Chain A
Amino acid sequence: MKQFTDLDTLFNQARNSEPYLNNQRFGKRVLTLINLQDPVPFWKEATIEMLGAFIGCALAYSFFPFTDLVNSIPTQFSIGPMVLLSVAGGFSLLCGLGYWTAERGQL
């Protein structure tokens, strides 16, 4: 501490040598936090989503081979014992997996 003279002199010295504190990071942080707290209006969010969905559908319609996909769907099914067994096995496996997932925390 420098030698004390009087309060006015001391505060004058402090005022005259007050440093300028850099705003770069502080300002950015404040504005980022404000952006986070400033929710996007519902109409804006809905418009963007609708626009995205429309563009997606248009692209899918022009590029996706719908006809080939429809033609590839089988028109006849023959169910044999092996198919039935496979379906029953797969179903049991799914049920077991579901039960294990749901009860895992309590086991």
Chain B
Amino acid sequence: MLSATDQALIERVVSTNCHDSFGILVERYQSDLRYSLRQMTGWNEALADDLAQETFIQVFKSLKSYQGTAKFSSWLYRIAYNQMVSHFRLARNREVGASEELLASQLEQVDSSSTSELDLHRDLAEAMKALPTNQRMAIHLHLHRQLTHAEISTIMGIPLGTVKTLINRGKTTLRDLLSSWSPEDNL
């Protein structure tokens, strides 16, 4: 069952409401999505997992409307992006914290032995926070996930030209920001 294609699993979920098949889809994509959301949220693990959870629930609810014209991963990222944008819009006017801190204590952590390896990812996520949400997403999808401009355009629901602009502006800002950092900062 693990080797079934995304399309076969989706059809099974839609026709028989099979939760096991959806579980396989979750297992297949959760790590990538949660990592991407951590990069988008300045490595806020609790918030990223919360958004990923909401994304998968939304995906399950609207799986019937998935037409298969775009890749499933693109559709998943589109929903996740919308969730993230809505969250940041709402969070602007309220304090986010207590519930997330509580959730954070319940979340599983990556092995402590790999903590030093995570520094790079955390630092990168921290640097990305300097960018506006849409630039952050475009840069991550382009440079990290290596998606094409057309795919990014589909995920973010913006024209191709805007994607290119966002990536160029994001790169410039990020380059300026990172070039001012030196190894001594780490001491």
Contacts and interface: CB of A to CB of B under 8 A. Distances in A.
B108 A26 contact: yes
Given A25-B108, A26-B52, A34-B57, A17 B120 contact: yes
A2 B143 contact: no
A106 to B, nearest CB: 35
Contacts of A34: 19, 22, 56-57, 60
B19 to A, nearest CB: 6
Q: Is chain A's binding surface mostly helix, strand, loop or mixed?
A: helix
Contacts of B107: 25
B22 A31 contact: yes
Given A11-B143, A31-B26, A38-B17, A26 B34 contact: yes
Interface in B38-52: 49, 52
A23 to B, nearest CB: 5
A33 B123 contact: no
Interface in A1-33: 1-4, 6-8, 10-11, 13-15, 17-27, 29-31, 33
Interface of A: 1-4, 6-8, 10-11, 13-15, 17-27, 29-31, 33-35, 37-38
